[in-house]
Structure 1
Amino acid sequence: MLFSSLGGLALMLAPALAASNPSGPNPVSLAERLSEAKVVYYGSWRCPACQAQTRLFGEEAAPSLPYVECAKPKELPDQAKACVAAGIRAYPTWILPSGERREGVQSLEELEVWISQPNQS
């Protein structure tokens, strides 16, 4: 039982630890570079995986993320239409300008490597 509780605690703390990891990518800088590279992050306000993805960046970086909300068609109709046009099937989905996509929660390190590859943006 103790192991299960500790495992759950580790899962809950992982996003906070990742966002403050000094050896990993700077979350604010990465969010800005993702936006500059025209990468798009599609998600839903009610999606737990999207919430976890955003938490990896932390509160300071979240406003800089290139986020498109797919689940508020009345409040954000243009964003909902963009999700349909992009063929979003799962949340979160990250798409490069080249059309390459990644579905599911991505670590900051994975996103850093992904946008740093030649011919990806």
Structure 2
Amino acid sequence: FTWNRRLPLPTVKVGLSSGAMAVLGAGVIFATTSTQVAIADAQTYLATGGAQMELQAPPAITTHSSDRVMKLVKYLEKSDAKMYGAFWCSHCYDQKQTLGAEAMRSIPYIECAKDGANSQRKLCQEKDIPGYPTWEIDGKYHPGEQTLDELEELVGLKAKAATPLTTELP
């Protein structure tokens, strides 16, 4: 027996037919099974009233607020400050960690992710929040993670660096 010899045409036809039937059969089984799984998933979703989506809470804040931050919080409260974010946003988490747990209990946090716990996604969409985190301070929006210096500047706790309007001639 050699591998390069020609097979009779009927043998080739039987081999190709068998292969085609195997592929066709596997396709039918796959289509039937995946359709049944999809129908079962849809039935479960409808039976639970669509409540199958698990809401996600943001990670716990593990830092404490400094005296400097607590002073800043008083000014943020006077400025009606709010922080918009999403539970999955690493910059939001870093911002919260910078401020600490005590401060974040006093600062309103608005969850914008649709699958986030206490989601206020519609409000975030209405306000056209550009990204996370975004601070609303005195009705103005400040996207991005802010340093303590930047937040102090935004609430007027720290004077902005003065830029001279004129320069002296040499």
Give me the TM-score of the superposition, normalised by structure 1.
Answer: 0.65
* Partner in structure 2 of residue 110 of structure 1: 150
Pick which of 80-89 and 104-113 moved more.
Answer: 80-89
Offset of residue 73 of structure 1:
5.5
Q: What amino acid sits opposite 1:55 in the alignment?
A: Q
Q: Which protein shows a greater Rg? A: 2
* Partner in structure 2 of residue 27 of structure 1: 69
Which protein has greater RCO, CA pairs closer than 8 Å, 6+ apart?
1
Q: Give the distance between the partners of 1:67 and 1:74, measured in 2 at CA.
A: 12
* Partner in structure 2 of residue 97 of structure 1: 138
Q: Which is helix-richer, 1 or 2?
A: 1
Q: Secondary structure at the match of 1:116?
A: coil
Pick which of 101-110 and 26-35 moved more.
Answer: 26-35
Sort the Cα spacing of 1:74 and 1:114 in 2 relative to 1 into closer, same or farther, 3 A: closer
Offset of residue 51 of structure 1:
0.1
Runs (5+) with no aligned partner, structure 2: 1-62, 158-170
Q: Give the distance between the partners of 1:107 and 1:68, measured in 2 at CA.
A: 19
Q: Give % identity.
A: 34
Contact 1:94 1:102 (8 Å CA) reproduced: yes
Q: Give the distance between the partners of 1:28 and 1:70, measured in 2 at CA.
A: 25
Contact 2:84 2:132 (8 Å CA) reproduced: yes
Runs (5+) with no aligned partner, structure 1: 1-15
- Are 2:105 and 1:63 aligned? yes
Give me the TM-score of the superposition, normalised by structure 2.
Answer: 0.48
